[in-house]
């Protein structure tokens, strides 16, 4: 089997216990205490799920023999899971402890404070009454570390699995998805596709009928394997009636294996110094998928596949044996890692394979959030893998998924976010007002020390002191300065004074002396700024509608939306990832046909779009949470590296991210604008032809868009 992804090697496990020692609070900067781990179970109280009577609750604390962690637990109900999680995160008992296990298990409160990480074992399907995807969505929205599948990896359909794995070189059994869409005609169309001659894409008996999305062998019986058309129709009808569709596959005669894939720290991987796994080349990534020893499922007499009863009630007839063939084991590991990557796997997942007599490997499915960490004596297939692999046992698995959860959470934190920032004139006036207010306070303090009466108003103080005293003159000057500064601020907020420019953008300047007008492109979701150096605020103040270019000259606005740094960004560090990210594209022809001049959409396009070629441009999408209001500067603190925006120099928290618009917007169609970015080399006027100027290549080199680079080549530069 040719696979695009090879299984990677983790750090040597011989020092596992030494590596596990810091898996107390040291992992979250609290070395004096244990790591607080809250186990999230799906409450089975009142559930009608088929799993409510057969699926025992996991017991991860049973695999912590050295007491490395401070354990707690919660049983989440589907209807109240979000409110329960909010209470847990806030450290309030409230509803967090509601719900119970199938056999009356009670939640366990943390002994010393809110959890540091959540071990999420909620795996309810979208059509179940058990907590599942909504728990993942709440954990992501609450921005807390958690183990298990994220929103993208949670419950992929078997159709999605097959398509993704096939693109990564992993073979899958021939299949047909029978859908009830269109009623009986749709079902008959699917059956006709199954029963067509193999030369026309039909399938060969024996066949197996499955749930198209479910897991845990849900819906499958011993009769799900069929050998003729009549049995096929019966099983398809049962799945269509019960689940709205059926997946029909060719049954692969042969052996069945299962492989557990876990995100682990990789040997030789780099981390730190601004490293970002999402932007680093694969050979430098600190974390990646590691496949554990494949285990074969040996069936008892009369059984050759895992139907529901065999998996959940009659499992004593199954035996689990580590794969003894090193070459086959490595091929299974490679296929499992490829499937994990193809389906955007995170944390861990279990892959099931069939191997035919010729040695061909076929993926049956990948199970994110597979059942694991069951109590001793009630092991599932993943637990058997851990118990049979001396290098990757239960404590090692726990350490790996907790570490990767904390790492993934750290990587998920945004480096930049939109914030509503004052322009340079407004910031200058604000600073002047603050300075003069401080002078006023000092003058009044001096008067109080001299025994003179204190007045809240400097003008009144000046009158009381007499016009000829030095203190009175100083206080009067301070009062006049404060009034003048407030007037400037008021005029700016009213849109009457301050910076001006000729384009639909707002002038501003960062603390390093740069910025002029905001533009937009696809970006990570907006997060509120953490603060401060450039008087940024996450709220909207006077000066314009959020994200919408006003009809009048916006340069007079006191403030505008800008992309600001949330954390220190060092020179060369990726600020905003553009490689392998979605972008909103529009052609000039489409824009001219659909958006007349003067329309809001046309204003957006003219002000913010930048070209990939002469006819196709990147523009703002309809989702405002994905906007990135970039700011122009003639001496920017960031520039392009391919499609990524990287720091040109160090950028401090609160500082707007600035780009020279000439590095990605060029041509006669680009409207020129007046610039007051405040940089020492400010050009005063920015045009679409600046990229052809003699100084441009020396200033930016290759840190320009491919479109601008092409225009320079056409000009012989």
The single-letter DSSP state of residue 146 is: B
Residue-level pLDDT at 272: 42
End residue of a domain, out of 412, 432, 457: 412
Q: How far apart are CA 424 and CA 638, in angstroms?
A: 19
Q: How far apart are CA 50 and CA 212, in angstroms?
A: 17
Q: Is residue 239 domain-resident?
A: yes
576 strand-pairing partners:
645
Residues 6+ apart with CB under 8 A from 317: 299, 300, 303, 310
Q: Does one domain contain both 137 and 176?
A: no
Q: Does one domain contain both 61 and 165?
A: no
349 strand-pairing partners:
261, 368
Q: Does one domain contain both 189 and 118?
A: no
**Encoded tokens for 26:** 């040291």
Tens of pLDDT along 136-177? Answer: 999 999 999 999 999 999 999 999 999 999 999 999 999 999
Q: Does one domain contain both 134 and 265?
A: no
Q: Does one domain contain both 138 and 201?
A: no
Residue 274 sits at φ, ψ, to 5 deg, of 80, 5
Q: Does one domain contain both 103 and 250?
A: no
Q: Does one domain contain both 108 and 183?
A: no
Q: How far apart are CA 10 and CA 644, in angstroms?
A: 29
Q: Does one domain contain both 179 and 258?
A: yes
Q: Is residue 102 domain-resident?
A: yes
Residue 657 belongs to domain with CATH number:
2.170.270
First to last CA, the chain: 48
Residue-level pLDDT at 518: 36
Q: Does one domain contain both 251 and 114?
A: no
- Of the two residues 639 and 16, the one the predictor is more confident about is 639
Tens of pLDDT along 36-51? Answer: 999 999 998 888 887 7
Q: What does the CA dihedral 209, 210, 216, 222 come to, rounded to 10 degrees?
A: -20
Q: Does one domain contain both 167 and 230?
A: yes
Q: Does one domain contain both 259 and 300?
A: yes
- Of the two residues 1 and 26, the one the predictor is more confident about is 26
Tens of pLDDT along 364-394? Answer: 999 998 999 999 988 889 999 999 999 999 9
Q: How many folded domains does the chain comprise?
A: 3
Would you say 120 and 146 are in contact if contact means Cβ atoms under 8 Å apart? yes
Q: Is residue 472 domain-resident?
A: no
Q: Residue 12: which pLDDT band, with cuts at 50, 70 and 90?
A: very low
Q: Residue 511: which pLDDT band, with cuts at 50, 70 and 90?
A: very low
pLDDT average, residue stretch 644-660: 95
Residue-level pLDDT at 450: 66
End residue of a domain, out of 412, 440, 460: 412
Would you say 110 and 28 are in contact if contact means Cβ atoms under 8 Å apart? no
Per the document, the length of the chain is: 717
DSSP sequence for 104-118:
-PPPB--SSSS-SEE
Q: Is residue 511 domain-resident?
A: no
pTM for this entry: 0.78
Task: Find the helix or strand (DSSP H, E) in which 420 lies.
Answer: strand 416-422
Among candidate residues 530, 550, 518, the one with its CA nearest the CA of residue 628 = 518
For residue 105, pLDDT beyond 80: no
Q: How far apart are CA 240 and CA 255, in angstroms?
A: 29
Q: Is residue 19 domain-resident?
A: no
Q: Is residue 177 domain-resident?
A: yes
Q: Does one domain contain both 288 and 215?
A: yes
Q: How far apart are CA 241 and CA 23, in angstroms?
A: 49
Among candidate residues 638, 682, 704, the one with its CA nearest the CA of residue 507 = 682
Tens of pLDDT along 308-322? Answer: 777 777 767 788 999
627 strand-pairing partners:
522
* Omega before residue 206 within 30° of 0, cis: yes
Domain residues for the domain of 65 are 34-142
Among candidate residues 547, 600, 132, the one with its CA nearest the CA of residue 369 = 132
Q: How far apart are CA 632 and CA 505, in angstroms?
A: 9
Q: Which residue has the tokens 């003639």?
A: 634
> Half-sphere exposure of residue 597, counting CA atoms within 13 Å on the CB side?
0
> Half-sphere exposure of residue 133, counting CA atoms within 13 Å on the CB side?
10
DSSP3 helix / strand / coil % (the chain, rounded to 5): 35, 20, 45
């Amino acid at each position: 089997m040719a696979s695009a992804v090879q299984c990677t090697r983790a750090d040597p496990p011989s020092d596992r216990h030494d590596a596990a020692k810091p898996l107390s609070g040291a992992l979250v900067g609290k070395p004096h205490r244990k790591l607080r781990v809250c186990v999230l179970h799906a409450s089975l109280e009142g559930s009608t799920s088929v799993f409510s009577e057969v699926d025992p609750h996991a017991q991860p604390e049973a695999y912590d023999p050295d007491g490395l962690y401070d354990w707690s637990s919660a049983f989440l109900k589907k209807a109240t899971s979000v409110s329960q999680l909010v209470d847990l995160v806030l450290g309030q008992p409230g509803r967090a402890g509601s719900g119970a296990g199938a056999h009356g298990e009670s939640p366990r409160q943390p002994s010393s404070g809110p959890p540091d990480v959540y071990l999420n074992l909620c795996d309810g399907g979208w059509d179940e009454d058990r907590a599942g995807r909504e728990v993942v969505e709440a954990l992501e929205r609450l921005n807390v570390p958690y183990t298990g599948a994220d929103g993208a990896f949670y419950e992929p359909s078997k159709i999605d699995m097959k398509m993704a794995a096939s693109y990564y070189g992993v073979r899958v059994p021939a299949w047909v998805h029978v859908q009830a869409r269109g009623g009986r005609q749709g079902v008959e169309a699917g059956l006709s596709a199954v029963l067509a001659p193999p030369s026309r894409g039909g399938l060969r008996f024996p066949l197996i009928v499955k749930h198209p999305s479910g897991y845990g062998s849900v819906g499958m019986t011993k009769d799900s394997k069929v050998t003729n058309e009549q049995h096929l129709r019966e099983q398809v009808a049962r799945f269509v009636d019960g689940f709205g569709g059926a997946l029909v596959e060719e049954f692969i005669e042969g052996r069945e294996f299962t492989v557990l894939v876990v995100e682990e720290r990789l040997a030789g991987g780099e981390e730190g110094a601004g490293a970002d796994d999402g932007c680093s080349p694969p050979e430098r990534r600190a974390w990646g998928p590691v496949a554990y020893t494949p285990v074969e499922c040996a069936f008892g007499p009369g059984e050759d596949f895992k139907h529901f009863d065999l998996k959940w009630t009659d499992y004593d007839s199954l035996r689990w044996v580590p794969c003894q063939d090193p070459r086959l084991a490595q091929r299974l590991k490679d296929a499992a890692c490829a499937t994990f990557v193809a389906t955007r796997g995170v944390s861990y997942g279990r892959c099931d394979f069939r191997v035919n007599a010729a040695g061909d490997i076929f993926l049956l499915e990948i199970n994110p959030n597979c059942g694991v960490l069951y109590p001793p004596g009630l092991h599932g297939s993943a637990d058997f893998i851990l118990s049979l692999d001396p290098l990757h046992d239960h404590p090692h698995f726990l350490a790996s998924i907790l570490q990767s959860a904390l790492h993934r959470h750290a990587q998920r934190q945004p480096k930049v976010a939109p914030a509503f920032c004052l322009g340079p004139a407004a910031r200058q006036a604000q600073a002047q007002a603050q300075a003069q207010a401080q002078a006023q306070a000092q003058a009044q303090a001096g008067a109080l020390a001299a025994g003179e009466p204190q007045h809240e108003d400097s003008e009144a103080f000046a009158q009381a002191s007499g016009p000829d005293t030095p203190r009175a003159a100083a206080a009067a000057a301070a009062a006049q300065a404060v009034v003048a500064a407030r007037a400037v601020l008021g005029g700016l907020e009213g849109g009457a004074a301050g910076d001006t420019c000729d384009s639909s953008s707002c002038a501003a300047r960062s603390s390093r002396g740069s910025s002029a007008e905001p533009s937009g492109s696809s970006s990570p979701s907006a997060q509120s700024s953490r603060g401060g150096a450039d008087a940024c605020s996450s709220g909207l103040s006077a000066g314009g509608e959020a994200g919408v270019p006003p009809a009048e000259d916006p340069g007079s606005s006191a403030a505008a939306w800008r992309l600001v740094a949330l954390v220190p960004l060092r020179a060369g560090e990726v600020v905003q990832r553009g490689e392998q990210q979605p972008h909103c594209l529009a052609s000039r022809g489409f824009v001219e046909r659909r958006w007349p001049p003067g329309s809001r959409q046309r204003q957006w396009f003219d002000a913010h779009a930048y070209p990939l070629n002469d006819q196709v441009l990147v523009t703002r999408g309809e989702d405002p949470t994905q906007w990135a209001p970039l700011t122009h500067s003639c001496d920017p603190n960031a520039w392009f590296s391919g499609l990524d925006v990287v720091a040109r120099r160090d950028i401090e928290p609160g500082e707007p991210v600035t780009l020279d618009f000439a590095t990605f917007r060029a041509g006669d169609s680009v409207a020129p604008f007046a610039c007051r970015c405040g940089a020492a080399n400010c050009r005063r006027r920015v045009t679409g032809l600046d990229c052809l100027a003699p100084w441009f290549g020396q200033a930016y080199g290759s840190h320009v868009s491919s479109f601008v680079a092409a225009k320079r080549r056409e000009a012989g530069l």
